[in-house]
Amino acid sequence: MHPIQNINTDILRKAEIPFPPLPIQRRIAGILSAYDELIENSQRRIRILEAMARALYREWFVHFRFPGHEGHPRVVSALGEIPAGWEVKPVQHIGKVITGKTPSKANPDFYGDDMPFVKTPDMHGNMFILGTSEKLSIAGAKSQANKALPAGTICVSCIGTIGVVSITTEVCQTNQQINSVVLENETSREFLFLRLQDAKATLENLGANGATMGNVNKGKFEALEIECPPNGLLASYHRLAEPMFAEILGLSRQIQTLRRTRDLLLPRLLAGQIDVEAAQ
């Protein structure tokens, strides 16, 4: 039989496609729907946890109604009125800022399966970075001195799409479109994550330079000022919010596993490689 070089609508209409019996089709749909429901339930729980963490953050750090706030009169700062005892600090005083870099594409040996290489699309819609579309080899990672980020680092997209914020879950590197904050004090992680999300409009204004693509360079990002509460209040928020963030991470990993399993099952179910009647 000669292969068909071109497929038109007449050929497609005449093509015969094997269909399993209707009960089997329904059973396959039921199996896949069960995975989709588990994924949706986990996503719903994540949304609730995010809303809880953000509501508490806004109450304490935006509206300044934190425990004992009555004893902290407002004082004038560079960012407006803040409670007495708070400080306005640039990001560089909260942690070390590292701007990513892309190893030379001319050297294929720099790319492999050893170190996750984060780009902005890997961050979209994800509080935590659980996977990357590209990885570096050991040689590629070593070619960029001092660019490795530990788990728990806060990454912020600063070129093109500005203001996407995510947290690393393993040692990784990023490209040059991302500025990352390696925290000096881990109790500030949840606060800073939400504060930098709130700074999206400010970052976009900082990155506006008349060019087609906005760019918040390292210097501008390091100088971004933030109203910082005392360490004790940060620690109190961390104790409440960290378990929420940890549960979000666990649910996100669960969703990743469910999607991977569902996608592996789908072709096997359609090919009849799994006895769905026996699975009832």
| Amino acid at site 272 | G
* Arithmetic mean of pLDDT, 239-245: 98
Give me the mean pLDDT over the 97-105 stretch: 97
Q: Is the pLDDT of residue 279 over 60?
A: no
CA dihedral 226, 229, 231, 234 (to 10 degrees): -90
Mean pLDDT for the stretch of residues 250-265: 93
Single out the residue of 240, 254, 258, 261 nearest to residue 45, CA to CA: 254
Q: Per CATH, the architecture of 87-228 is what?
A: Alpha-Beta Complex (3.90)
What is the model's pLDDT at position 4? 57
pLDDT at 27: 79
The answer to whether the beta carbons of residues 121 and 251 sit under 8 Å apart is no
pLDDT of the residue at 177: 97
What percentage of the chain carries pLDDT values higher than 70? 91
Closest CA to 237 of 30, 19, 61, 9: 61
- The CATH class of 17-77+229-280 is mainly alpha
Residue 185 has pLDDT above 60, yes or no: yes
Where are the chain's structural domains?
Answer: 17-77+229-280, 87-228
Asked if 122 and 160 count as a contact pair (C-beta separation under 8 A), the reply is no
**Residue 31: which pLDDT band, with cuts at 50, 70 and 90?**
confident
Express each pLDDT in 134-157 by its tens digit.
Answer: 999 999 999 998 999 999 999 999
Distance in angstroms (rounded) separating the CA atoms of residues 81 and 2? 78
pLDDT at 92: 97
Q: Report the C-alpha gap between 266 and 115 in whole angstroms.
A: 30
